[in-house]
Amino acid sequence: MLRIFYSLTALLFAISFSFASEKIVFIDIQKIVTSSKAGISAQAELEAQAKRFKEEIEKKQKAGESPSQIQAFAEEKQRELMEKRQKVAQKFMKTLQKAITEYSKSKGYKLVLDKNSLLYGKPELDVTDDFLKFFDEKYSTVK
């Protein structure tokens, strides 16, 4: 019985040691979205389009168009804005995934997690700031 206990203990120690030697880190994706040059650029693009749509609606109101026409126009512009937002988000996330892969390979990381899905992570495993620098250098905008 004691041999089994020692064998299991040795096995658990070996497993925990192998995981400790792996390079596992995490990145705060939300911070990258809101703080990166590409994220700020994408958000500014969406805000500019929303402003243009609002101005178009105001022009129609001043021109005296009927409320039902203005409502239909506003709904159409809202749909367009939502579609644009979805496309921009998809492009951004695709670019972000590519950048994370490049970054991880260059650093030799085996696993990169999103900070917002972690229950706990040692602060020294947070590479958000380093990744943000990398991302800003390589991807100032999303194409």
**Of 81, 77, 72, nearest in space to 56 by CA:** 77
End-to-end CA distance of the chain: 63
Q: What is d(CA 2, CA 68) in angstroms, rounded to the nearest whole number?
A: 82
- Report residue 1's pLDDT band, with 50, 70 and 90 as the boundaries: low
32 found inside a domain: yes
Confidence of residue 124 (pLDDT cuts 50, 70, 90): very high
Task: With respect to residue 4, please indicate whether it lies within any of the assigned structural domains.
Answer: no
Average of per-residue pLDDT across 63-87 = 91
As a whole-number percent, the residues of the chain with pLDDT over 70 amount to 83
pLDDT of residue 3: 54
Average of per-residue pLDDT values in the chain: 85
The predicted structure's pLDDT at residue 17: 47
Residue 106 lies in a domain: yes
Total structural domains in the chain?
1
Q: What does residue 64 show for φ and ψ, rounded to 5 degrees?
A: 85, 20
DSSP letter string, 65-118: --HHHHHHHHHHHHHHHHHHHHHHHHHHHHHHHHHHHHHHHHHT-SEEEEGGG-
pLDDT tens digits for range 2-47: 455 445 454 444 455 445 556 999 999 999 999 999 999 989 989 9
Mean pLDDT of the 51-79 span: 90
The CA angle 87-85-91, to the nearest 5 degrees, is 35
Pairing state between β 24-27 and 111-114: parallel
Residue 35 counted as domain residue: yes
Output the domain CATH number for residue 37. Answer: 3.30.910.20
Task: Give the whole-number percent of the chain exceeding pLDDT 90.
Answer: 59
